[in-house]
Amino acid sequence: MKRSARTLLLLAALFTLTGCAGAPTFITPNSSISADQAGLYRILIVLSILVFVFVEAWLVYNIVRFRRRDGDDSLPKQVYGNNRLEIIWTALPLLLVGVLFWLTVSTVNAVSAPAPLADDLNLQVVGHQWWWEFDYPDLGILTANELHVPAGKTVQITLFSNDVIHSFWIPQLSGKVDVIPGQTNHLWFKADSLGEFHGQCAEFCGLNHANMRIKVVVESQADFEAWVANQQKPPAAPQTDLQKKGYDLVTGGICNSCHTLGEHKSEKESNPQTPAGPGQAGIELAARGVGPNLTHLMSRSVFAGATYELNETNLHRWLQDNQSMKPGNDMSVNPSASDIEALIAYLTTLK
Amino acid sequence: MATHAQTPAGTIPKRRSLADTRLGRWLTTVDHKRIGILYILTSFSFFLIGGVFALLMRLQLAQPNGQVLSNSTYNEIFTMHGTTMIFLVVMPLSAGLGNFLVPLMIGARDMAYPKLNALSYWLFLSGGLFLYSSFFFGGAPDAGWFSYAPLTERAFSRGPGMDFWALAILILGLATTLGSINFIVTTVQLRAPGLTFRRLPVFVWMVCITAFLAVFSLPSLTTASLMLLLDRTVQTHFFVVAEGGNALLWQHLFWFFGHPEVYILILPAFGIVSEIVPVFSSKPLFGYTAVVLSGMAIGVLGFTVWAHHMFATGMPAIALLFFSADSFLIGVPTGVKIFAWLGTMYGGKLRFKTPMLFAIGEIALFTIGGLDGIHMAVVPVDWQVTDSYYVVSHIHYVLFGGAIFGLFAGLYYWFPKFTGRMLDERLGKWHFWTMFIGMNLVFFPMHILGVLGMPRRIYTYGSGLGWDIWNLLETVGAFIIAVAVAIFIVNFYLSMRKPADAPDDPWDAFTLEWKTASPPPDYNFAEIPSVRSGRPLWDEKHPELADWKQAEA
Amino acid sequence: MSVTASSSQPERKELSAKVTLAMVLASESVFFGMLVMSYLYLRNGQAGWPYLQHSLSRLIVPGLNSLVLVLSAWVVRRAQVAIQGGSTGGLNRNLWVAWLLGLLFIAGQVFEFQRSGMYPSDPAFGGVFFALMGFHALHVLAGMLVLALIGLRAWLGDFDSQDHIAVDGGSWFWYYVTAVWLVLFAVLYLV
C-alpha cells in the first residue's frame, strides 16, 4: 500500500542518515506504548503531508497561474467571498480534527497503565539535580544511572523529585513523565526486546540538565535475576591495606556525607510511609543520599549522570577534578593524590 | 553660548527647547508615528542581539560535547534569547507597526492617549535595558524564558538573574497593558466617519484582538512574577513544596498567560498578511467576515488551551482530553485564514514585490508550524515530542516563519510610508530567499532531532546518538539567516541614503494610510476622510467598481 | 465637510474614560482572580490548612472592616449623586468621609494582620493570605489617593453637574475595590 511504502521510505532515510543504531527514538519502539505512539505518529505524518501538499500546491498554482503578465494592467474580478466554500473549508478541518481527537482518546486508553499485579516489577525513580536514582523497593536494591529491567515484564514506576522538576524519558520504552517535587507521578512500560536504550532528563533543571542521562539495560529474566542477586549482596570488604585506607575514607565522612554504602533495606522495612504533611510525597526523601549509592558501583558501566563510561581512568579523573567533567555539579571534594589512590583501590572492588 | 533673539522687549538670550533639537524631537515625542518608529528601531536592535545569542547557541551545538560555551553561559544565553525575542522583539515590533498605522488606517490624527503612548514606549525600553543590565550585576537569568519554579526559587537560582527577569517582566507587562488599552480606546473612539467595524482593516482588527488578549492574559503573568519575587525576597512559599507551596502552580499561572501570548505574537502578523495579499493580488480579501471572526475565535479559544503545555505533568485523563480537544479546535480558525489568503490570490493578478514574497513565505511556513501544533495536540505523541527539539521546531516555524516573516513583510510594505523611500527590490528578494532557505535549514531538521530523542534546552549532547549531522546542518542554516539579516541592514542603509521622494501610494493599495504623503505630515490628514467601505482608496481609484456599490457580505 | 475625529468632545471623553476604566478593572479582576484561584489551588492540596472560619471570633475584625468599606462605598455614591445634582460642597464632604473610612479600613487591616500572628513566610497559607490582603490594601490606598485628587480638583472647582468624568471614574474604582474585598472576605474567611 502506498502509505506504508512512503513511511517505510521515510524511516529508511532516517535510518541511513543517522546510523540509527544509537538514536533513542520512539519510531524504533521497544514497547507497546512506544509502538502505539509511533503508529499514531505515522498516521499524523501522512495526514500532515496531505494537508501540506494541498496547501502548498494551491499556493504554487496561484503563483504560477495568476501572475500578472507584463503589460497587463487590467483588474481581476473582485470576489469578496463564497459562503459555501468557506463553510466547507471550516467543516472539513473540523471533521479532520475530530478524527484526530478520536484517535487521541483511543491511544490514551491503549497506553494507560494496566492495573498493578503482584508479578510486576516495582520501581521508584527519584530525580536529583543531576542524576537519576533507581530504587527497587521489593528487592532492596538502590542504584543509579543505569537501569536494569527484564524483558517482557511490566514495570510500574513511581516518580519523585528531590529538588526541582525533571522529566523521565526513555523514548523507546515510553513517553516522558515529569518528575515534580511534592507530587507522585506514575509511568509504566513493558520492554519487548533485549538491548541497551538511552534516555535523558527532558525538563530543564539547571546547569547539568544535559548531563542527566539514563542507560537502560533490558535483559533476559535469567540475566536480570543474576543482576539482582549481585545487587543484593553487601558491599565488598576491603582486603589490602590500600583498600582499607580507601574504605576508611569512604565511610569516614568524605564520601558518605553524600553517598550511601552498604545494605539498603527494602522500602517496606525501613521507610514506613510517613503521613503526607505539607509538601511531602509520603516517602522520606531525606533518608536518601545526595549522591548515588556506591555499594555496587562497578557493576554499572556509566556514571556522572550516565555521561561518562565508568572505568578506572574516568573515575580517577572524576576524583581529581570532577568539576571539569561536569561543571557545577554538587560534589565538592578535593582528595589528595594518595587519597585518590586508596579510594580507587577500594571503589574498584565494589562490583 | 546663548543665542540672542530679537524680541519686542529687546535682545534676550533664548535657549532652544529640548523639543526643537533633532534628538529632543525623538525624546519628547508623543506623535504616534515617531513612537512607532522608536518601537521598530529598538525592537530591531534587540532582534540583532537575540540573533547573535542564537548564533552562539548554534555554534555550541554544532558538534557533540561542544566547548564553545560553558553550561552556565549557555543557560543564560538561551534564556535571554527567548525572553528577548518574545518580549523585546516580536511584541514591540508589532506594537510599533500598530502605533504608526492604526491611527492612519482609521483616519485619525493620533492615538487616543498620546502621552500614555510615549510612556508605554519608554517603559518598554527601560524594561529591556533593565533586563540586560543583569549581565553586569551578577548574571543574567538562566532558567529559560518560562522560568519554571521551583528551579527559579532562591535555593536553586542563587544569583540575582531571576529577580531581574521577574522585575523586567513586570515593567514590560505594564508597558504592554497601557499600550493595549490605548489601542482599544483608539479603535473604539477615533474611527473616521463611515468607518464601521465591518469596514475596519483586518490589521486593525488583529491589533485590537491582540490588545484584548494582552489585557486579559498579562495579569496572570504578573501574578506569577510577583509570587516568585515574594518567594525570593520575603520567603513566602508559593512554589516551595516543602513549605506547602506547589510547583505546578507556576505552570498554570504562566501558561494561562503563555498561551494567549503566542496568539499575541502571531495575530498582528496575520493582520499584516491580510493587508498585503489583497493589494498584491488586486482583489479584496476573500471572506473578510470569516477572517475577522476567526481572529476572535482564536482569541477566545486561546484562553482555554493552556494546559496543553503540561501534558507530561501527570494530569488526570479528563483534563488531558479536554485540553487536547480544544487545541485541535483552535487549529480550525487558523486554517480558515490560510484558505482565505489562498482564495484571495486565486483569480487575482499577482505582483511579486518583496512584501508579497514575505507574505507568501509566511503562509507557507506557518502551515508547517501549525501542523506541528496539531501533532502535539495528540496527547500520546506529545508525550514523546514535548520538551524535545520537535517543540523548538514548531515554535520557530510559527514565530520565525510566521511572525517574523509577517513582520518583515510589513516592514517592506510600509517602509515608504514610514520613511518616504522604497527599500531596494533586488536586495529585498535576496533577503527573502536567503532567509527562507536558511530558516528551513535551521528549523526543519529539528523535527527529526525531536523524533530522534533530543531534549530541548541542553547545552551539549553525547555523540553516537544520531544527532550530530542535523545539529551541524542547523548551525550552517543559522549563519545563512545571519547573512539574510545583513542583507536587510545593507538594504536599509542604502535605501535611507536615497532622497525621500516615494509616492503616497507606491503599491496601488486600498486603505487610508496610503492617502497621506510618504511620510505623512504631523497631522496625518488635512481633512479627516469619510469612508463608505473597507477599501476607501480602491473606491476612489475605481469608482465604477467601488466596494460599496457591490452587494457586500 | 469633515468631522474631526478627536477625543476632546465631552461625550467622546466620557466613553473613552469608561472604556479605559473597564479595561483597567478587567485587568485587575484577572489579577485578583488568579490570586484567588491560586489560594484555592494551594488550599486544595493541603492537610492542616489554617482555615480562618473555624472560630467565630476571627470574623469580628474582618467583619467590621467589611462594614466600614461598604459604608464608605455608600458614602462615595452619595458624593457622586451630589455632584450630579450640582453640589460641589456635598461632593467634597462625602469624599472626605469616604477617605476617612478608607483610612479606618486600612487601620483595621493592619490590626488584623498583627492580631493573626501570621507571617508571609508561614507555609503556603501565609504567602497567599498576605498577597491577597496586601494587594487589596494597596488598591484601597490607591483608591484613597484617587479620592484625594478628586477632592482637590473639586475644591478647585473643576466639576459641575454636567462634567465630572473623574468623579465617576474614581467612584467606580472605589466600588470595585469594595466588591473585591467582599469576594476576598468570603473566600478567605467564610468558605
Pick from B187, B188, B189 the residue to mutate for testing the C interface (most C CBs within 10 Å): B189
In this structure, is residue A290 part of a structural domain? yes
In this structure, is residue A6 part of a structural domain? no
For residue A21, what are the CA distances in angstroms to A24, A210, A308, B64, B553? 8, 21, 19, 17, 59
Same domain, A99 and A127: no
Question: Which candidate, C189, C180, C98, places its Cα nearest to that of C139?
Answer: C180
The confidence band for A285, taking pLDDT boundaries of 50, 70 and 90, is low
**Which residue in B246, B314, B351 is closest to A178 by CB distance?**
B314
In this structure, is residue A154 part of a structural domain? yes
Q: Is the pLDDT of residue A100 over 90?
A: yes
B68 touches chain A (CB under 8 A): no
Same domain, A105 and A145: no
How far does C125 lie from chain A, in Å, by closest CA?
Answer: 11
pLDDT score recorded for residue A277: 30
Angle between helices B288-301 and B202-234 (to 10 degrees): 10
pLDDT score recorded for residue B550: 82
C100-148 pLDDT, tens digit per residue, is 999 999 999 999 888 887 888 887 788 888 999 999 999 999 999 999 9
pLDDT score recorded for residue A280: 33
Half-sphere exposure of C54 (CA within 13 A, CB side): 5
Torsion of CA C98, C101, C102, C106, to 10 degrees: 180
How far does C30 lie from chain B, in Å, by closest CA?
Answer: 6
pLDDT score recorded for residue A6: 53
Number of domains in chain A: 2
Cα Rg, chain B, nearest whole Å: 24
Number of domains in chain C: 1
B127-154 pLDDT, tens digit per residue, is 999 999 999 998 999 999 999 999 999 9
- Among A87, A111, A135, the domain-final residue is A111
SS3 state of residue A311: coil
C34-63 pLDDT, tens digit per residue, is 999 999 998 887 766 666 555 677 788 889
A53-81 pLDDT, tens digit per residue, is 999 999 999 999 999 999 998 999 999 99
Same domain, A89 and A185: no
Q: Is the pLDDT of residue A272 over 50?
A: no
In this structure, is residue A16 part of a structural domain? no
Identity of the amino acid at B418: F
The confidence band for A18, taking pLDDT boundaries of 50, 70 and 90, is very low
For residue C51, what are the CA distances in angstroms to A50, C58, C66? 57, 10, 19
User: C24: domain CATH number?
Assistant: 1.20.120.80
Same domain, A246 and A298: yes
pLDDT score recorded for residue B274: 98
Q: Kindly determine whether residue A277 and residue C124, on different chains, have CB atoms separated by under 8 Å.
A: no
Report the range of poorest mean pLDDT among A90-104, A266-280, B70-84, C67-81.
A266-280
pLDDT score recorded for residue A10: 60
Q: Which grid cell sits at A345?
A: 583501590
Q: How large a percentage of chain C has pLDDT more than 90?
A: 57
Strand A131-136 with A121-128, pairing:
antiparallel
B-chain CB neighbours of C14 within 8 Å are none
- Among A79, A111, A143, the domain-final residue is A111
Q: Is the pLDDT of residue A157 over 70?
A: yes
The confidence band for C12, taking pLDDT boundaries of 50, 70 and 90, is confident
Domain hosting C39: range is: 2-48+56-190
User: A33: domain CATH number?
Assistant: 1.10.287.90
In this structure, is residue A298 part of a structural domain? yes
C-chain CB neighbours of B252 within 8 Å are 41
Q: Return mean pLDDT, chain C.
A: 87
Mean pLDDT by groups of 10 residues along chain B of 553 residues: 52 79 91 97 98 98 95 97 98 98 97 97 98 95 95 94 97 98 96 96 98 98 97 92 90 97 98 98 96 97 96 95 96 96 96 98 97 96 97 98 98 97 97 98 97 96 94 98 98 96 96 95 94 95 91 49
pLDDT score recorded for residue B549: 87
Question: Which candidate, B206, B335, B342, B337, places its Cα nearest to that of B283?
Answer: B342
Same domain, A129 and A246: yes
Q: Higher pLDDT residue, A279 or B368?
A: B368
Same domain, A70 and A166: no
For residue B201, what are the CA distances in angstroms to B28, B106, B351, B415, B500? 30, 8, 21, 18, 27
Q: pTM for the complete prediction? A: 0.93
In this structure, is residue A78 part of a structural domain? yes
Same domain, A328 and A193: yes
Same domain, A39 and A153: no
Contact assessment for residue B468 and residue B462, using Cβ atoms and an 8 Å cutoff: no
State which residue of chain C sits closest to B218, comparing Cα positions. Answer: C27
SS3 state of residue B1: coil
Q: Higher pLDDT residue, A12 or C66?
A: C66
The confidence band for A122, taking pLDDT boundaries of 50, 70 and 90, is very high
Same domain, A127 and A194: yes
Pick from C18, C30, C138, C139 the residue to mutate for testing the B interface (most B CBs within 10 Å): C30
pLDDT score recorded for residue A3: 44
Same domain, A91 and A143: no
B486-521 pLDDT, tens digit per residue, is 999 999 999 999 999 999 999 999 999 999 999 999
Whether the complex's predicted ipTM is more than 0.90 is answered with yes
pLDDT score recorded for residue C4: 45
A-chain CB neighbours of B382 within 8 Å are 175
Q: Return mean pLDDT, chain A.
A: 87
Domain hosting A55: range is: 25-111
A72 touches chain B (CB under 8 A): yes
Question: Which candidate, B349, B432, B447, places its Cα nearest to that of B392?
Answer: B447
